Amino acid sequence: MGQGASVSSPVLPTRAWQPMLVYYLKVTLASVKRIFMAKYKSEDLLNDLIADVNRIKESAAFFESSDRNKLAYSPDKAKWSVVQVLEHLNAYNRYYLPRMEKELAVTTQAHSAWFDSGFWGEKFTKMMKPSNVYQVKNKMKAMKAYTFSNNLNIDTVLKEFIGHQDKLLQLLELAKSRDLNNIRIATTLTKLVKLKIGDMFRFLIAHEQRHMIQARNMLKEVGITTEKFPVILQAVPR
């Protein structure tokens, strides 16, 4: 080789790099899944969610025994009264529960022992779920269609809310014999965004927990003692 001659790198055959690229993409995808998505034992997840809903029902029982006038009052127009909070949740349940019930009834997929949370389902649930039992830090603005005036009948709203919790418990029991990965439910944001039903349960219940804490804090503002108000969250957030 003469002085100053350059040494060229060997050229791989055109297809030689493809297996390496495929391997790299698989490893990258697996890493992304570990970071952004979670895996749950279906039975344990559903039992935990059932326990969550039962605590929410206990909160509703607390509201039933409280002063109706105070439940419909907010000292700050920028904050919802308890009855406004409950009607907000009722509106979402009117949308989601019938759709979830329909899909659970028609699915032919058998029970799956494990549930793999989807990217958006995991993200939405973590955004929604409060981090502690006393405060909601990451506040979000509700869509106009899901905000209500204070001119509501508290007994009617409460009755519907409790009925929705009973329906939710029924659907969670039914889901124990279904594949939580296979059924998908369109969100209220757009029909183009669909969540696995396992994630939809998680998201919907996290949303209720969030607003139960909001309602509890409003009780304190209107002078109702909350010492016996149920603890909404488990010690370890899901």
3-class secondary structure per residue, 175-206: HCCCCCCCCEEECCCCCCCEEEHHHHHHHHHH
Tokens (6 digits) for 96: 């989601």
Domain count of the chain?
Answer: 1
Q: Name the residue with higher pLDDT: 32 or 75.
A: 75
| Residue keyed to tokens 């899909």 | 103
Comparing 45-49, 53-57, 141-145, 223-227, the range with the smallest average pLDDT is: 141-145
Q: For residue 81, tell me if it sits in a domain.
A: yes
Q: For residue 186, tell me if it sits in a domain.
A: yes
Q: Does 25 score more than 60 pLDDT?
A: yes
Q: What is the mean pLDDT of the chain?
A: 84
Say what the pLDDT of residue 12 is. 47
Q: For residue 79, tell me if it sits in a domain.
A: yes
Residue 185, beta-bridge partner list: 195
**How many whole angstroms separate alpha carbon 203 and alpha carbon 128?**
7
What's the alpha-carbon Rg for the chain, to the nearest Å?
24
In our burial notation (b when 16+ CB lie closer than 10 A, e otherwise), range 36-46 reads: ebbebebeebb
Convert the pLDDT of each residue in 53-97 to its tens digit.
Answer: 999 999 999 999 999 999 999 988 889 999 999 999 999 999 999
Say what the pLDDT of residue 110 is. 79
Q: For residue 185, tell me if it sits in a domain.
A: yes
Say what the pLDDT of residue 228 is. 86
**How many whole angstroms separate alpha carbon 138 and alpha carbon 144?**
19
Question: 39: helix, coil or strand?
Answer: strand
Q: For residue 118, tell me if it sits in a domain.
A: yes
Q: For residue 85, tell me if it sits in a domain.
A: yes
| CB neighbours of residue 116 within 10 Å | 17
- Beta strand 114-116 with 184-186 is unpaired
Q: Name the residue with higher pLDDT: 14 or 114.
A: 114
HSE, CB side, 13 Å, CA atoms: give it for residue 134. 3
Say what the pLDDT of residue 119 is. 92
**How far lies 159's CA from each of 45, 69, 191, 208, in Å?**
27, 17, 29, 16
Say what the pLDDT of residue 172 is. 98
Q: For residue 109, tell me if it sits in a domain.
A: yes
Give the contacts of 63 (CB within 8 A, at least 6 positions apart): 71, 82, 86, 158, 215
CATH number of 107's domain: 1.20.120.450
Burial of 56 (0-12, 13-18, 19+ CB in 10 A): buried
Question: 87: helix, coil or strand?
Answer: helix
Q: Does 205 score more than 50 pLDDT?
A: yes
Q: For residue 116, tell me if it sits in a domain.
A: yes
pTM score of the predicted model: 0.80
**Residues spanned by the domain of 95:** 38-221
Q: Name the residue with higher pLDDT: 35 or 83.
A: 83
Q: Where residue 8 falls among pLDDT bands split at 50, 70, 90?
A: low
